[in-house]
Amino acid sequence: MNILYVCHRFPYPPKRGGKIRPFNMIRHLTEQGHRVWVCSLVRNEQEAEETVGIEQFCEAAFMAAVDNKVQTARMVARLPLTTPSSMGYFYSAKLQRHINTLLKQEAFDLIFVHCSSVAQYVTDVTGIPKILDFGDMDSQKWLSYVSHKPFPLNLGYWLEGTKLEAEEKRLARQFDLCTCTTRAEWQTLKDYATGVDTDWFPNGVDSSFFAPDGGDYDPHAISFIGRMDYYPNQQCMLSFCRDTLPLIQQQDPEAKLFIVGADPSKEIQALGELPGVTVTGSVDDVRPYVRRTAAMVAPLTIARGTQNKILEAMAMGVPVVTSTAAAGGIDAVPGDHFLQADSPQATAAALLQLMQNACERQRLAEAGRERVLEHHNWAASMRRLDAIIAKCVSYPPMETTAKEAGL
């Protein structure tokens, strides 16, 4: 098949959450013999330079360079409108023109869109089967911010979340089939009751890359991995260092925390001044930091979809202590494959258990990796995707269905 693939972040190199899922789809589709045209955005020269190499995984790739100041202005311009501001941030006239040209030049058998924010580029296209992979339901993430932001800023998040939820429902009706990353996100999508067929397929993890290396670990060390310009990551680490880490250090004065992730804010950088805390900023490879620690902690209170950091730590044989919110996208059992805790006291106790009990750490290390190998591998996920695509392309063209329905 000829497939037009549109995504909100350029999917190469696949080194952050928003890039990993689309990259694995694109690579798989190409390996299956399909011809894939990739269309996406880049936000700076460095990101554009890093895209070199994507050509081996697709038929062709096009990136539209956008300026953050311009995109922010597009967001502001939509504040008084019913259109979500985030749609403005991901809009590029250049990308729209390129997609329109491709649609005229090539005979596409399928249009696949990853993330609702770029569905706008092909909303009006008919006669070609279309799949919208929401991944996570972004509206619910915005709405979850409301209780964590001060007044009146929280009103802005409520407004954007409400507008985005309405837009997600409208967009879903413009596609033949819609998908999500987890069962929980899928339930949210089904509850929208749009009348459109829905399904889900999970994120995987490269278990040969994220694997144990047989080295020793520091029983006094714990780690957190994630981009530190992302509010949920910032919020959970600020709270963890304030409320939980002191409880751990009371029992283990040598306890240390490594916060590993790109673009830490000034508040996060300041955490590096606390006893035992290291803020690394961007690193070439997160694996050595995770492998050398007794546990990886993911105490997020705001989380949607699958937390790749949890899967990757489990694949490396490093036990995870996570919140209920962050565990929702992981196909694993609390207590059997990871530890779950939601209060500072419970989180501290769980981490100390792994830091002080080598046998318990080993049990969870082995069980966690085995679970990832069985339930979060890309091969199985892509088999689900193949079945979803086969189902979609078997449907009558949307324009015919609409006419028959009298729309």
C-alpha distances in Å from residue 34, one per residue of 119, 121, 126: 21, 22, 21
> CATH number of the domain that 124 lies in?
3.40.50.2000
H helix or E strand, kind and range, residue 395: none
Cα(350)–Cα(171) distance, integer angstroms: 43
Helices (H), 320-376: 324-327, 344-356, 358-375
Tell me, yes or no, whether 243 and 350 share the same domain: yes
One DSSP character per residue, 207-247 reads: TTTS---S---EEEEEEEES-TTSHHHHHHHHHIIIIIHHH
Three-state SS for 25? helix
Which burial class, exposed, middle or buried, applies to 22 when counting CB atoms under 10 A from its CB (0-12, 13-18, 19+)? Answer: buried
Helices (H), 106-175: 138-145, 153-172
How is residue 129 written in tokens? 């089967």
**Count of beta carbons in the 10 Å neighbourhood of residue 269:** 13
Tell me, yes or no, whether 357 and 388 share the same domain: no
Structure confidence at residue 398 (pLDDT): 60
Torsion of CA 221, 222, 226, 230, to 10 degrees: -110
How is residue 118 written in tokens? 């770029």
Tell me, yes or no, whether 197 and 274 share the same domain: no
Tell me, yes or no, whether 277 and 389 share the same domain: no
**Is residue 92 a part of any domain in this protein?**
yes
* DSSP type of residue 263: S
**Is residue 263 a part of any domain in this protein?**
yes
Tell me, yes or no, whether 160 and 78 share the same domain: yes
Cα(71)–Cα(266) distance, integer angstroms: 24
**Count of beta carbons in the 10 Å neighbourhood of residue 192:** 18
Structure confidence at residue 397 (pLDDT): 65
Total count of domains within the chain: 2
Q: ∠ at Cα 362 (357, 365), nearest 5°?
A: 125
**Is residue 260 a part of any domain in this protein?**
yes
pLDDT tens by residue, the chain, 407 residues: 999 999 999 999 998 778 999 999 999 999 999 999 999 999 888 888 989 999 999 999 999 999 989 999 999 999 888 999 999 999 999 999 999 999 999 999 999 999 999 999 999 999 999 999 999 899 998 898 898 888 888 999 899 999 999 999 999 999 999 999 988 899 999 999 999 999 999 999 999 999 999 999 999 999 999 999 999 999 999 999 999 999 999 999 999 999 999 999 999 999 999 999 999 999 999 999 999 999 999 999 988 777 889 999 999 999 999 999 999 888 899 999 999 999 999 999 999 999 999 999 999 999 999 999 998 999 999 999 999 999 999 987 665 433 333 33
**Is residue 212 a part of any domain in this protein?**
no
Domain that holds residue 193: 2-204+378-404
Structure confidence at residue 41 (pLDDT): 96
Tell me, yes or no, whether 128 and 240 share the same domain: no
Cα(225)–Cα(289) distance, integer angstroms: 9
Structure confidence at residue 145 (pLDDT): 87
Tell me, yes or no, whether 275 and 149 share the same domain: no
Structure confidence at residue 199 (pLDDT): 97
**Is residue 42 a part of any domain in this protein?**
yes
Structure confidence at residue 167 (pLDDT): 96
**Is residue 103 a part of any domain in this protein?**
yes
**Is residue 310 a part of any domain in this protein?**
yes
| pTM listed for this prediction | 0.86
Tell me, yes or no, whether 368 and 393 share the same domain: no
Tell me, yes or no, whether 24 and 89 share the same domain: yes
Tell me, yes or no, whether 61 and 173 share the same domain: yes
Tell me, yes or no, whether 176 and 116 share the same domain: yes
Tell me, yes or no, whether 391 and 344 share the same domain: no
CB 59 within 8 A of CB 36: yes
Structure confidence at residue 399 (pLDDT): 52
**Is residue 211 a part of any domain in this protein?**
no
